[in-house]
Amino acid sequence: AQTVTQSQPEMSVQEAETVTLSCTYDTSESDYYLFWYKQPPSRQMILVIRQEAYKQQNATENRFSVNFQKAAKSFSLKISDSQLGDAAMYFCAYRIADSNYQLIWGAGTKLIIKP
Amino acid sequence: GAVVSQHPSRVICKSGTSVKIECRSLDFQATTMFWYRQFPKQSLMLMATSNEGSKATYEQGVEKDKFLINHASLTLSTLTVTSAHPEDSSFYICSARKGLPTDTQYFGPGTRLTVL
């Protein structure tokens, strides 16, 4: 069975510093997608970054980047120059490439930004 | 962009009544939409997958007669909670699948349902 594990229930970081959120997953598939979603207090789920498993290059979106280690089944999110607006729940999610498009979700990590 | 709207954002109803929640993809067509339920401080729980023009696929443990889903067009899916009870009070979120090249789910802002 596919599972997604986020081992950090809560993380805190000083404003302007860098923080890394961990995510591991378990799958026997070779072709899949990985996602990080952000859910701020408004509860609107926002896509942060997306990674295709067949791509070796790590995805980046401005201050957000991932460290994708396929062999280790690890997909961590690095947030550089943390801002107060980054405070949110962050969810890691997985999907098989050729599937019914359902996402498998991690439990989430609450990120606190200290001013 | 990929914008998904959800209406209403909040609803309070009496026990025994039915409530309809709408999910719309505003700037793209979505053959597949998803309905989730989220309990406080928890992750999303998939309730059902809605495919345009066909019956929804419900997850195990979700009562299809209680949570009616209709995906009548490529931009609209509705979730109707029938004969609502206080235990149905929750935060309901929809998402819409945008196809290639991103092939990604985009989410609505959610609906807070309170059943008195």
Torsion of CA A70, A73, A78, A84, to 10 degrees: 140
Residue A91, strand partner residues? A37
Is A43 within 8 Å of B91 when comparing Cβ atoms?
yes
Q: Are B107 and B64 in contact (CB under 8 A)?
A: no
Task: Specify the pLDDT at position B84.
Answer: 96
Task: Specify the pLDDT at position A17.
Answer: 98
Chain A residues with beta carbon closer than 8 angstroms to that of B32 = 100-101
Is B97 within 8 Å of A50 when comparing Cβ atoms?
no
Q: How far is CA B69 from CA A51, A87, B54, B84, in A?
A: 31, 34, 10, 15
As a whole number, mean pLDDT of residues B34-56 equals 92
Categorize the per-residue pLDDT at B17 as very low, low, confident or very high, splitting at 50, 70 and 90.
very high
Is A107 within 8 Å of B42 when comparing Cβ atoms?
yes
Residue B45 scores a pLDDT above 80: yes
Residue B58 scores a pLDDT above 90: yes
**Probe site for chain B from A8, A35, A101, A104 (most B CB atoms < 10 A):** A101
Q: Which of A43, A47, A103 sits opposite B110 (nearest CB)?
A: A43
Q: Which of B34, B43, B104 sits opposite A106 (nearest CB)?
A: B43
Task: Specify the pLDDT at position A27.
Answer: 92
Residue A60, strand partner residues? A65
Q: For each successive 10 residues of chain A (115 residues), what is the average pLDDT?
A: 93 98 94 95 94 93 96 97 97 85 93 97
Chain B residues with beta carbon closer than 8 angstroms to that of A50 = 102, 104
Residue B116 scores a pLDDT above 80: yes
Q: What is the mean pLDDT of chain B?
A: 93
Strand residue runs (E) in B1-116: 4-7, 10-13, 19-25, 32-38, 44-51, 57-58, 67-73, 76-81, 90-98, 104-107, 111-115
Distance from CA of A20 to the nearest CA of B (A): 20
Categorize the per-residue pLDDT at B72 as very low, low, confident or very high, splitting at 50, 70 and 90.
confident
Tens of pLDDT along B92-113? Answer: 999 999 887 778 899 999 999 9
Q: Report the candidate in A100, A82, A98, A102 with the shortest Cα–Cα distance to residue A90.
A: A82
CA distance B84 to B29: 30
Instruction: Locate B111 and state its tokens.
Output: 């609906």
As a whole number, mean pLDDT of residues B12-39 equals 95
Q: Which of A50, A100, A106 sits opposite B49 (nearest CB)?
A: A100
Task: Specify the pLDDT at position A15.
Answer: 97
* Three-class DSSP labels, A6-27: CCCCEEEEECCCCEEECCEEEC
Task: Specify the pLDDT at position A46.
Answer: 94
Categorize the per-residue pLDDT at B61 as very low, low, confident or very high, splitting at 50, 70 and 90.
very high
Chain A residues with beta carbon closer than 8 angstroms to that of B44 = 45, 91, 103, 105
